[in-house]
A and B are shown apart, each in its own frame.
Chain A
C-alpha cells in the first residue's frame, strides 16, 4: 500500500497541480480550436500538424528577433497558414476532410525537418535565450494564497491567456449570434444558408481560428515550456487534444475538464520519481479513457450533425 500512499502524497502537492494546469493548457488550446472547427462542420484531425508548424516557426522567429511576442504571432500565423490549406482543400475542393487532415500532419512533419536542414544545416537548431522565452508571471497578492496561489497564479502568461480564451470560446459559441451561426452551419448548413448565413465564410473562419489556437499552443510548447525545436516535438499532443474534444463532448468546458485529467497524467509522468508505475503505461491513459467514453460507458458523445460533410449549395 506504499504506492497508494505515495500517490495520495503526490496529489496533495501544489507543484503537481501547477504542472497539471500548464500541461492541460497545452492541450486545451488545440482542443478549443478543434471544437470551433468541428462545431462549424469541418472535421479537424490536423491540430497536431498545426501545432508542430507553429512550434517550428515560433523558434525560428524567436532565434531571429529575440522577441517572444513577435515569435508567438509568427507561430499563430504559421498554424493559421496550415489551417488555410485544410480549409481550401476541404471546403473549396470538397476533399475528404480526414485525408486532408492526415496530409496536413504528414506535411508538417516533413516540412519542419526539411526546413531545419535547409536553414540550420544538419546540426542543432540552437536554443532560445532565457530572456527570449515566454515569461512566467506571478499575479501580485493572489499568488500568496496558500496552495491555490501557486497552482493558479504562478504560471506562464500563455496559461492565463488560454483560460481567457476558454471563457471567450464558451461564451461566444453559446451566447452570441456568431456562435449560433457557427453551430447552425455545423448542424444544418442548408438551413443556415437559406437563412442568409455564408456557410463557406463561417467554416473558413472557424478552421483558421483552430490554426491560430494550435499555433499558439505550439509556441507555448517550443518557447515557453521548452526552449528549442526538436523534430516531431508535439509527440501526439494534437491527437490528445482531439481526444479531449471528444471526451468533453464538443464543449469548451467539457474539453477543459478532459485536459485537466490528461494533464494530470502528464504531470504525474513528469514527477514520477516516487510512484513505481511505468510512465509509458501512464501515457496510454488519455487514449484508453477516451475509448471508454466513446464506448458509451460515460454517456454518449455525439458530434455536430453535419460534421465532415462538404457543403454543396442545393445539395440534398
Chain B
C-alpha cells in the first residue's frame, strides 16, 4: 500500500485566461525583444539604457520622473499621440482583414486634414453644431477618396495596393507643400502654414482652456487632451462592430480568407475591395481632420514630417487586428513618441531611438522571433505555425496583382 497522499488534481487554467496569455505572448514578447535589442544598441554606443528607458517611462506615463516633469502633463501629451494612432490603426487593420495592405494611411490622413482645414477656413463663420460635423465628414470623404483610388485600381486592373498607396502618400505630401507654400491655403508670403480654421470647427478640450485655473499644479490650458479621444474610441468600437456584427464585415473577412470561397458564397470581391478601402480611408481622413480640429487648428510644416500613418502599421500589427489590441498598441506607441522628447532632454539619448524600437518591434512580429524562440525551449514548444492565429492570412502579394480579381 502506498502511503503517498493522493495528488490533488491541478486546477485547469480557464480557457479565457489561456486564450488571453497565448494571445498576449507574441506581442508582449516582441516588444520585450525590441527593448532588449534597443538597449543593446544604446549600450553599444556608450549610453545608459536604464537611464534611457526610465526617462521614456517618465515621458510616456509620468512614472519615476527625476527632472520634475509633471506626470499629469506627460499623460496628457501621450493621449494626444494616442488619438490619431487608434483611428489610423483601424484604417490599416480593416483592410488587413480583407487581405489588403494599406500603407497609405499617411496620405489619407493628410487628405483629411487638408479637407478639414479648407472647409474650416471657407465656412469659418458657421456655428459649431453645423461646422464641426462638416469638417469631420469632409475629412472622412477626402480620406475615402484618396484610398478609393487604390481600391478601384486594385479591383479593376489589379494594381497592387501597396504600390498605389505609396504613390498616393507622396502625391498628398507634395500637394500639401504646394497648398501652404505659395499655394491657395498659404497664410502669408514667406510662411509655411495655413490660416487657422474658424472657432466653430474646433473640438473642445477636455479641461477648460483657462490660464487662471490651476489643475494638477499647472494652468489647465496646457492639458490639451480634446474630445477627439472619444471619436477615436468610437472608431475602434465601430471597427469591431463592423467587422463582427455586420454582413459587410463578414464579407470583408471572407474575402481576406479566400477570394475563391468568397466568390462561391456570392460575395462580390471587387465591390468588397473598393468598399473596404473607402471605409479605411474614411478612418484615416477622420484622424487627420481630428488632428486639425482638436490640436493644431491649421496646417503647418509639422505635417511634412508626420509619420502617424506609418506608425499605424505597427499599431495594427502589434494589436493583432483587434479593436482592444489596437487601442493598447496605440497607447504603447503614443507613450513612446511622447516619451522620446523627455528621453532626449533627461537622458541625452536621441528621441529617434523610438523609431529604432518601432522597427525592431515590426521585425520581431513579422518574423515571429517569439515563436522561433519558443521552439528552442522544450517546455514551450508548440506545433509550428508561421503566423499567430489572430493575424489575418498573409495579404496576397504581388502575384495576385497580376490579374484583377474576377467576378466568376
A contact set with B: CB distance below 8 Å: 38, 43, 45, 85, 89-90, 93-100, 102-104, 106-107, 109-111, 113-118, 232, 236, 239, 242-243, 246, 278, 280-281, 283-284, 287-288, 290-291, 294-296, 300, 302-309
Complex contact A103–B362 (CB within 8 A): yes
The interface residues of chain B lying within 8 Å CB-to-CB of A45 are: 162, 166
Grouping DSSP codes into helix (H, G, I), strand (E, B) and loop, the A interface class, with mixed when no group exceeds half, is helix
Closest A-B pairs by Cβ, 8 of them:
A110-B355, A308-B397, A107-B359, A93-B367, A95-B366, A103-B362, A307-B398, A280-B178
Chain B 171-206 interface 0/1 with A at a Cβ cutoff of 8 Å (1 = within): 101110110011100000000000000000000000
Output the nearest chain B residue to A88 by Cβ-Cβ distance: B367
Closest to A49 in B: B359
Q: Looking at the assembled complex, report how far the CB atom of B142 sits from the nearest CB atom of chain A, in whole angstroms.
A: 16
Segment 394-408 of B: residues with Cβ below 8 Å from A: 394-395, 397-399, 401-402
Given contacts A239-B166, A243-B167, are A114 and B356 in contact (CB under 8 A)?
yes
Closest chain A residue to B368 by CB distance? A93
Complex: A115 Cα to B365 Cα, angstroms: 25
Is A291 within 8 A of B164, CB to CB?
yes
Closest CB in chain B relative to A267 CB, distance in Å: 17
5 A-B pairs with CB atoms under 8 Å apart are A99-B366, A280-B182, A281-B174, A296-B159, A300-B157
A300 to B153, CA, bound (A): 12
The interface bits of chain B over 9-32 (1 if a CB of A lies within 8 angstroms of the residue's CB, else 0) are 000000000000000000000000
- Given A280-B175, A294-B167, A295-B159, 12 further pairs, Cβ under 8 A: A93-B368, A95-B367, A100-B367, A110-B356, A110-B357, A110-B358, A117-B352, A284-B170, A295-B157, A305-B402, A307-B397, A307-B398
For B352, what are the chain A residues with a Cβ–Cβ distance below 8 Å? 109-111, 113-114, 117
From B101, B164, B366, B369, residue with most partner A Cβ within 10 Å? B366
Note all chain B residues with C-beta closer than 8 A to A98.
Answer: 101, 103, 162, 395, 397
Let me know if A97 and B397 touch, CB within 8 A: yes
Task: Verify A118–B363 contact, CB threshold 8 A.
Answer: no
Q: In the complex, what residues of A have CB within 8 A of residue B359's CB? A: 103-104, 106-107, 110
Q: Are B398 and A89 in contact (CB under 8 A)?
A: no
- B259 nearest CB across to chain A (Å): 16
B binding-site residues for A, Cβ under 8 Å: 41, 45-47, 101, 103, 149, 153, 157, 159-160, 162-164, 166-168, 170-171, 173-175, 177-178, 181-183, 305, 310, 313, 317, 349-350, 352-360, 362-363, 365-369, 372, 386, 394-395, 397-399, 401-402
Q: Contact: A309 with B367, CB < 8 Å? A: no
* B164 close to A294 (CB less than 8 A): yes
Closest to B170 in A: A287
**Which residues on B sit within 8 Å (CB–CB) of A106?**
310, 355, 358-359, 362
Interface centre among B149, B183, B397 (most CB of A within 10 A): B397
Q: Which of B45, B168, B362, B399 contacts A307 (CB 8 A)?
A: B399
B356 contacts which of A93, A107, A232, A308 (Cβ < 8 Å)?
A107
B344: nearest chain-A partner, CB-CB: A117
Q: Are B367 and A89 within 8 A (Cβ)?
A: yes
B350 contacts A118, CB within 8 Å? Answer: yes
The one of A100, A243, A284, A308 in contact with B174, judged by C-beta atoms closer than 8 angstroms, is: A284
Q: With the chains together, A112 CA to B318 CA distance in Å? A: 24
B-chain residues with CB within 8 Å of residue A304 when the two chains form the complex: 398
Q: Take A284-B170, A287-B170, A294-B157 as given contacts and tell me if A95 and B313 are in contact as well, using a CB distance cutoff of 8 Å.
A: no
Chain B residues near A308 (CB-CB < 8 A):
397-399
Asked whether B397 lies within 8 Å of A309 as measured between CB atoms, the reply is: yes
- B361 CB to nearest chain A CB (Å): 8
Contact across chains for B177 and A294 when beta carbons are under 8 A apart? no
Max chain A Cβ within 10 angstroms of own Cβ: one of B167, B305, B401: B167
Bound complex: CA of A113 vs CA of B305, how far in Å? 14
Chain B residues with CB under 8 A of A102: 103, 310, 313, 362
Task: Decide: A96 near B358, CB < 8 A? Known: A43-B398, A308-B397.
Answer: no
**Cα distance A312–B171 when bound, in Å?**
37
Residue in A closest to B400 when the chains form the complex, CB atoms: A308
Contacts of A290 in B (CB 8 A): 163, 167
Q: Give A115's nearest chain B residue, CB to CB.
A: B45
Identify the interface centre among A115, A280, A283: most chain B CB within 10 Å of its CB: A280
Quote the shortest CB–CB distance from B207 to chain A (angstroms): 33
Roughly how many angstroms separate A117 CA and B181 CA in the complex, as a whole number? 30
A302 contact set on B, CB distance < 8 A? 402
Do A96 and B177 have beta carbons less than 8 Å apart? no
Question: Once the chains bind, are A294 and B153 in contact (CB under 8 Å)?
Answer: yes
Q: Which residues of A contact B177 (CB under 8 A)?
A: 280, 283
Bound CA–CA A100/B364 (angstroms): 9
Closest beta carbon of chain B to A65's beta carbon, Å? 20
Given A43-B397, A89-B366, A283-B174; A294-B159 close (CB under 8 Å): yes
Chain B, residue nearest A307 (CB):
B398
Query: Looking at B46, B103, B183, B367, which has the most chain A CB atoms within 10 Å of its CB?
Result: B367
A99 to B41, CA, bound (A): 22
Contacts of B349 in A (CB 8 A): 114, 117
Q: Which of B41, B166, B175, B386 has the most CB of A within 10 A?
A: B166
Which of chain A's residues have a CB closer than 8 A to the CB of B369? Answer: 93
CA separation between A116 and B349, bound complex, in Å?
A: 11
Q: How far is the CA of A113 from the CA of B103 in the complex (A)?
A: 23
A264 vs B192: C-alpha distance when bound (angstroms): 26
Nearest Cβ distance between residue A123 and chain B, in whole angstroms? 13
